[in-house]
Chains A and B, each alone.
Chain A
Amino acid sequence: MQTININLLEKILYHVEKPGRYVGGEHNQILKDWDSIRTHVCLVFPDIYDIGQPNLGLAILYDILNQQPDILAERAFAPWHDLETQLRQHEIPLFSLESKHPIAQFDLIGFSLPYESLYTNALNVLDLAGIPLLSSERGAEHPLVIAGGQACYNPEPMADFIDAFVIGEGEEVIVEVVRATEKLKQAGADRKTLLQELSRIPGVYVPSLYSVSYAQNGTISDFLPLNSSVPAFVTKRIVAKLPPHPTRLIVPNIETVHDRLSIEIMRGCTRGCRFCHAGIVNRPVRERPVSEILQIIEDGLAATGYEEIGLLSLSSSDHTQILELTKSVYEKFQNRKILVSLPSLRIASFSVKLMDELRDLRPGGGFTLAPEAASPRMQAIINKPLDNAVFEETVRTVFEHGWLTLKLYYMIGLPGETMEDVQAILDAGKRVLAIGRQIRGNRVRVHLSVGNFIPKPHTPFQWYPLNTTDELQAKLDLLKTGVHRTGLKLSYNIPGTTLLEAWLSRGDRRLGQVIHRAWQLGAKFDAWGENDNLPFWRQAFSEIGLDPDFYAYRERALDEILPWDHIHTGVSKAFLRRDLEWSKLGKTRKDCREQCYACGILDSFGADRPISPLVYWGCP
């Protein structure tokens, strides 16, 4: 059995940037005795440690698995280019941080795939581990390779490489998968039997158990399970009540992004923005009560020593007890020398009031608002209506309450968008700047942060094409010229990166060959804008003989079998079609806590809804 030559590794670490990424040993790391534990799981976030370690999903699974006395969970991350070169040169396989075991020696490898641009990194990790990339080439001697995370709501592009996907929330199902795997392995089951059995666990999708046929025009003509014991579709898993939050979080020894105590105060969102993937796939809304959040902060601070906490959710001001929460956080923690950040606030003066409640606990820096669209017409199309008077009042309140910098998030490339709608973003920015300067003078800064819209699976906009690179570029040019000499600051995404994300998020399983080839050609770290991998991808598409435009720029027919149709989020396709129709009519929906629009969530999960009034669900 291959082991890591620790002396050689340590010598190599002298020659890489930030060796602290690769050594583990952090406070709250869990190091169990390898030999006395039956089942070994390696959780892999396929980006560098600095990006992956703060991921809360990873921390939750690490905590849950390690709570089981007979399961050991360790971590691994993608090495940066410098260490990768050294590992390959010295033939050192990729290893876990805790015990430095080669990751190929674990029983299970669990990839966290929150976004698509990690796919080539996942392949690179398998390759560095010496594990065959293709699921079909792995046998009983290899670890079972599973994956989960928000990108896996369209698992098809990674179907060739992943043995089983966990669809939805992993807290309960991860232990079921590990238990089933160890039981079958002990019984000497072969890989085929193992996968067949795993497919019977609700929420587990085994791509190799389905066959896909394609029509002449390239669309899917049939998507069928290989035998009758395989489910025709897989519905995501949810936890009816948010489970206990981990508090003994690993405290990184080196600086990372979001270097703070992250606490999920609420899951899901009731706003129904039509572009928003997270808003659909994370339904229904579930909250943690204030008393529980306060206890998590207390325990988390004691266990980590962090000086900053982040209270996270998709729309914090929508938590039903948010005012009480901010007030109690201030009362309880005002003398504890901590900062409290509360991102994702709605555009309302109320949000400013919330931040005011935190007083000197709020971090320095700017205030952020996300109108996403500027013209009333676009706002109705995306179902994020914003009364201009309310917007201006909010902006005024922000400046009056001491902030000097305001960051505004917008999107371009939305369905039906014209140049007038893009111009409206500039006009809004200028109005905001004028209001700010009127109140606080010339020190005021207004920052427009503009993202490119990608029609995401499972949203009402899933049938729309992506704006072409030329279209996006023309819109960006208008913005770039428009901010000139206004004092507005503009940041934006490169259209090429957007295109890559669109291919990967909207693709079918034939894209696996393209991912494989692009990785062979050198694509990795695709999320890092600095190294432009687009030529590798174009070459891969051309060699494999697939048309990239087919995936990005084609309007899909409403009756088309979409590559992700067999993955059910609980929100029905009929609802998405209806919502698309409403969008075309410019009709908006209210917050669905006020009125149920029968999206399907209650049909799918209503039976699991806790009866206790103490467990809050956002559905009426």
Chain B
Amino acid sequence: MNDQPLRIRMTYAKLGNLRFIGHLDLQRLFERALRRTNLPLRYTQGFNPHLRLNLASALPLGFIGEAEQMDFWLDQEVSLEEISNRLCKSLPAELILKNLQVIDNQQPSLQASLLSSEYEVLLPADLDPQILQEQIGALLTQATVPVQRRKKTVDMKNLILDWQLVKQAPQSLLKISMKSTPAENGRPDELLELLGLDPADCQVTRTKLIFCEE
């Protein structure tokens, strides 16, 4: 086995019906899609080897992802063009390959270097953006904005890095940047609930993942 496997970083979009597929199911879907490519995939060692892949961050059910990222490894050199050709044939129609790049094996994992995520929330057409603007402003003037998550409480105020309301017709857009580290992970749907909105009425898209620079 090659001791220096080729580490490939793939950027992809997750759209349409695949919004309704959860993180673990997506992982299995990728494993099978990669197996169909017949590329020289790297497996883990041991009694029960499985495909080595690493997704940057779980995308909540129902969200569109425009630029999600994942690493996988190959045992042999293959050109990015060849990988791209084979992946395009084997990915389901609603998983779209956006970019491929070779990554140094020494670089930390995607999860370890992920800092934050940018989201765009398409708001309901009947919502008055001015009122929402004031609502969010008022919320963030509070000292803390506690949100109950199973057994622990998190502070929404601490998770929001930046926000902007784009008032437009017919549906306004809430742009929001939130922390995405293992310790502190912001969820835009929790903010929508705080604002009295049903996340099912708003289409949330994760537009970008922000990683720390080496």
Give A residues with C-beta under 8 Å from B.
Answer: 11-15, 19-20, 22-27, 251, 253-255, 301-307, 337, 364
Contact = CB atoms under 8 A, between A and B. Distances in A.
10 pairs of A and B residues whose beta carbons are closest in the complex: A305-B32, A25-B17, A14-B200, A305-B35, A19-B20, A23-B17, A305-B36, A11-B200, A253-B21, A20-B21
Contacts of A20: 20-22, 25
Contacts of B32: 27, 251, 304-307
Contact of A25 (B16, B22, B25, B61): B16
Contacts of A253: 18, 21, 25, 29, 92
B93 interface: yes
A26 B16 CA distance: 12
Q: How large is the interface on B (under 10, 10 to 19, 20 to 34, 35 or more residues)?
A: 20 to 34
B34 A305 contact: yes
Given A11-B200, A302-B36, A305-B35, A24 B25 contact: no
Interface string B30-45: 0111111010000100
B35 A24 contact: no
A406 to B, nearest CB: 21
Contacts of B62: 13-14, 19
A307 to B, nearest CB: 7
Contacts of A14: 61-62, 199-200
A15 B17 CA distance: 15
A455 B119 CA distance: 61
Contacts of A23: 17, 20
A255 B25 contact: yes
Given A11-B200, A11-B201, A19-B61, A304 B36 contact: yes
B92 A13 contact: no
A19 B24 CA distance: 14
A25 B93 contact: yes
Given A13-B20, A19-B62, A307-B35, 11 more contacts: A11-B201, A12-B200, A14-B199, A15-B200, A20-B25, A27-B33, A253-B25, A253-B29, A255-B24, A303-B36, A364-B48
B207 interface: no
Contacts of B43: 337
Contact of A302 (B25, B29, B38, B200): B38
Contacts of B200: 11-12, 14-15
A225 to B, nearest CB: 47
Contacts of B25: 20, 253-255
A254 B28 CA distance: 9
B75 to A, nearest CB: 12
B31 A26 contact: no
A56 to B, nearest CB: 18
Contacts of A13: 20, 62
Interface string B3-25: 00000000000001110111011
Contacts of A303: 36
Interface in B121-164: none
